[in-house]
Amino acid sequence: MSLVSWKRVVIKVGSALIAPNQNGCSSHYLLGIAQFIVRCKSMGIEVVLVSSGSVAAGSHLFNEQEEGYKPSIAVKKAMAAAGQMEMMATWDRLFDFPTAQILVTHGDLRDRERYISIKETIFSLLENGILPILNENDTVTTDKLKVGDNDNLSAMVAAAADADTLIICSDIDGLYDSNPHENPDAKLLSSVPVINDEIFAMAGGSSSSVGTGGMKTKIEAAKKAVAHGIDTYIVNGFTEQTFNALLAGKNPGTHFSPDKQPMKEHLHWMTHTSTAQGEVVVENDFTTELEDDSELLTSNEIIAVNGDFAVGDTILVRKDDGTRLAKAKSNYSSCLLSFIAEQDDQAFASKFQDTTGPIISENNIALLEEK
């Protein structure tokens, strides 16, 4: 997609750009990014910013900084709370238009109602010329509720914002066929038409000691984004030339082509954002074509119901050998589904299901690639 056709762009900026010396926020690398955002807005392109860096920005405010010190989770959360203020103040100083802060957890994104609320908030801000700046809410999140890295978060945000382009800033020019910090002959891939196992195998770690995301998480994010039809770039965020090239319609890094048949919005959310709250296990010889069968799934095909889920929760449908078939919205609670699946009288179970409706509705199932 050429620059002139961009309508809405999400740009992800990492901790190493925000606080490169772990001594508070620095505008050294952010000025070029801010100028890029300003120039995009002047061209009528809407921009959403996903900014890591709250922990890195706040770490210098704490006393326990001797060599080898590893802060506890509680201290990291406190660092995030303090650093988030400094980070937002730094961004705000770089723009002559208003900015807004949106802090989210994976728990917010995987809940459909809250996900829609986040979408609506982003749209309202953009409509009023306000720059949305999103970050994971590290102060309150837990292992169960966190995304864990802002690369994947940026892809989820890009999908929620209906963006046509995602730009992920890295500490290198893009995806190489091997680690360029270790191999001087490593070659940059300027274009990736399909993300497959070979592409993932090329993803090494990041040289940054500040951020939590390496190249693997950036590839994961790209896979999420292109499935939604979003052009995705991994670029070097440390050089101003990167953003000049983008504004000139050139590719300064690695471009990941969007899928030719993007997933529908709610199916993309179910596949890449929502977390399965439980699972339904079927026999290994299960052959029903889930996307075509009007019943989709019947009680006599189920051999186990695992987890505790409610009506409307996302569940995983898999074979007994572990093969993942689909993620879907369940029309039954785990308790009720277990009850009817355990009935010896299949006529009773079938009649019960005929009365209460299908276990999974036809338009609420997303087939998965076998892994």
Question: What six digits make up the tokens of 245?
Answer: 């090239």
pLDDT digits (tens, 9 = 90+) for 82-107: 999 999 999 999 999 999 999 999 88
Confidence (pLDDT) at 267: 85
What is the distance between the alpha carbons of residues 271 and 279, in angstroms, rounded to a whole number? 14
pTM above 0.85, yes or no: no
Do the domains 276-367 and 3-268 match in fold? no
- Average model confidence (pLDDT) across the chain: 86
Of the pLDDT bands very low, low, confident and very high (cuts 50, 70, 90), residue 66 is low
Question: Which CATH number describes the domain made up of 3-268?
Answer: 3.40.1160.10
Among residues of the chain, what percentage have pLDDT more than 90?
A: 51
Confidence (pLDDT) at 371: 46
Among residues of the chain, what percentage have pLDDT more than 70?
A: 86
Mean pLDDT of 306-329: 91
Higher-confidence residue of 65 and 75: namely 75
Higher-confidence residue of 86 and 65: namely 86
Confidence (pLDDT) at 176: 93
Mean pLDDT of 241-268: 91
Match 């660092």 to its residue by tokens: 79
What is the distance between the alpha carbons of residues 262 and 258, in angstroms, rounded to a whole number? 8
DSSP 111-167: SHHHHHHHHHHHHHHHHTT-EEEEEE-TTT--TTT----HHHHHHHHHHHTT-SEEE
Residue boundaries of the structural domains of the chain:
3-268, 276-367
Confidence (pLDDT) at 346: 63
Of the pLDDT bands very low, low, confident and very high (cuts 50, 70, 90), residue 170 is very high
Of the pLDDT bands very low, low, confident and very high (cuts 50, 70, 90), residue 149 is confident
CATH class of 276-367: mainly beta
DSSP H or E run through 295: none
